Every structure is written in C-alpha cells, then in structure tokens.
Amino acid sequence: MSNNAEVGLYRRTLIRDNITNEPLPGANIVLIDSSPIIGTVSDANGKFILQGIDVGSISIKVSFVGYKTVEILNRDLRTAKALNFNIFMDEMVLTSGEVVITASVDKRASINTMATVSSRTFSVDETRRYAGSRGDVARMASNYAGVQVATDSRNDIVVRGNSPSGMQWRLEGMEIANPNHFGSLGTTGGPVSILNNNQLDNSDFLTSAFPAEYGNAISGVFDLQLRNGNTNNHEFMTMIGFNGFEAGAEGPFSSKSDASYIVNFRYSTMEVFEMIGMSFGTGTAVPKYQDFSFKINLPTKKAGIFSLYGMGGKSEIDFLDSERDSSDVDFYGGEGWDLRTGSDLFIAGINHVININKTAYIKTVNKQLVGRT
C-alpha cells in the first residue's frame, strides 16, 4: 500500500521571472516519469499544486513559452509533509525557425545572476545526500572541487588553500559572523551548525569572483535562504538524530491571507542522554547546546512582501579534571585543568521586497546581531 502526499507551490510562493520577480501564469508543470502523466498549470498568480503523488523521490519539469525549461530533480516527498518549491525562470528568445531544446539543470549556475563563475546553487536535499555531511551545508560543500574542511571535528571551510576565516556567511541577504555552536572569535566554523537544514531553501555557494555585494569575502561565500512556511496547512515535525532532538512547526496565520510562519527548535542529543545516565566515554566533557530558527512571511497587496526571520544558539562544554574519577575516559580535557567554554548567538532581521514596475524591484535588508563568546 502506498501513501499519498501533496506537492506544490501554495499561496506563499510563485513561479517567477528571474529578472523582474513577476509571477508567470500559465506555466506547465509535469511530474517526470509519471504514468499516467500527472501535471497542472500555474494560475493567474503563478501558483500551482499537484495532488495524489506517492511518497519518495520525485522530479518535476516546468515549461513556459519564451522561457527556458526548468527541471527540479530527486526531491524527497515524505508522508504527511507538503513539499514546496521556489522556481525562477529565465527568458529565452528564439529568432530561428525550428529549434529543438533539451532542458537540464546546471548546478554551476547560481540563483544570484550577478555571479558568473565559480558559483553553484544547492538544495536542502543535497545536504542530506552527501556522505558525511550530517545535514550541515559546510560539510556538504567539502565534496566540491577545491573545497575541504580543516578537520573532521569542525566544519571550517578551506577554499583553494585560503584561510577559513575568509569565508562569509549570509542569511536572507544579511551577513552573519559564525553560525555554529562552540564558535570562537576570528573563526567561521565550529563542531555543530546552528543553521537547521530543514528550514533552508535553495541557496548559493561561491568560491571566487564574487559580485560587489559580497565585499567582505576573501575565501568563499555561503548565501543562504530560508524557506517560507506552508500557507495551506499546519504541519508539525519531530526528529531524533545525531545532531539533536528536534521539533518544528509551520503553517498559515489565516486561511484568508498568504501570511505564514515556520519555526524550529533543537536540543543536544548527548546532553539528553547524560540526563538519563548514559555515557559515551567523554567524561565530564559533554557538549551541551540548543538552538532555534524562525521566519514569518507577510505579503501585502500594495506594500510588497515583508519577512521577519532570525536564529539563535547557546552552547557550552566543561572540561573539569577536578570532577573526573579514575573510571572516566576524557578525550578532550587536560590533566590538572578545569576549563569552561561556550558561546551564545542571536540574529534577527527584517526584509522588504516591492515591485516598482514589471522590470524592477527593490529589496531592503535590516538586521540586529547579538553575540557573546
């Protein structure tokens, strides 16, 4: 017996022109390799929804007259979980007679059209598929050519031999310092990422020749985007894994509006196990951390789209030689020393996007950063 789920762009998102940000009505959407064919057409606002699809790995193709065909491949559709896409299409002008077009997805092309070389886009599904990524975008990027992590214990990124401190992190257009637990001053990495891949949308990774907006980058850039919440149904999620005990929720504020929310909270797995008396051979040095992230999307009819977003994390670890007995095996502490270390981080921002005409729009980013290491 198979389970059916829904996949689609609900009221929160649109099929849009990649340059003007205008919605594209009448685009054709087809589920690849479906028999009989499952498909639909975007409505007057560029929105669409597909229903009655079996859970598993799916691929869709989007085509529209005058635009390049887009294929989104191998996305995981889970039971009782709606799958949402952000789709941007590029114009294609044909001046010849008969033309045969073969569509494909070029991973070397980034969402930012100003980035022309050494850039690529990645999806949240890729952070789950790459070996050793642990759901971390930085560890996933170490599988790319010319990129590696400094050590297996941390996710500091080394691009073509550059220092990891030259890496720039951006979230929704806002520059952030170090989005990792147990981060220290002057670094851009850490053992565990605060960024939760369950809330990420398609994002860019750039390794050279940065556009002017990335002025502080020397080594590489992670330009990350948060997805909007489901505007059709309320959804709740719980997960237990290596990175932590996790709970999340998303949904609409009202059935009469396009406003939505998405929020996620995570708590250290090893700290929970310590509370119930389980030991993993780390002695007193048990990594304790918790983090959260959220995004509120508020579209309006005349004033544009407002979005409020943020993330925060708290982490600490103690190396207490004075409390270690002879039976403890402590891989991290030093004999005769009591060391306590930790870091706190909170970031919040608000964005505003408004179309001024059919060929241009304005995006404004404001931020507030609070951090202590």
Over residues 16-37, mean pLDDT: 88
Calculate the alpha carbon distances from 199 to 59, 127, 136, 315, 322 in Å.
Answer: 20, 12, 12, 20, 41
- The topology under which CATH files domain 1-105 is Immunoglobulin-like (2.60.40)
Query: What DSSP string describes 8-73?
Result: EE-TT--EEETTT--B-TT-EEEETT-SS--EEE--TTS-EEEEEEESEEEEEEEE-TTB--EEEE
**For residue 372, how far is the Cα from the chain centroid?**
24
pLDDT at 291 over 90: yes
Rounded Cα distance between 310 and 29, Å, is 33
173: CB partners within 8 A, 6+ apart: 223, 351, 363, 365
- For the chain, give every domain's residue range: 1-105, 235-372
299 DSSP β-pair partners = 305
CA 240/CA 309 separation, integer angstroms: 24
Closest CA to 365 of 302, 307, 298: 307
Name the pTM for this structure: 0.67
In the predicted model, is pLDDT for residue 57 greater than 60? yes
Percent of the chain with pLDDT over 90: 16
| Averaged confidence pLDDT in the chain | 80
Q: Is the peptide bond before 36 cis (omega within 30 degrees of 0)?
A: yes
Question: What gap in Å lies between CA 27 and CA 326, rounded to an integer?
Answer: 69
pLDDT at 121 over 90: no
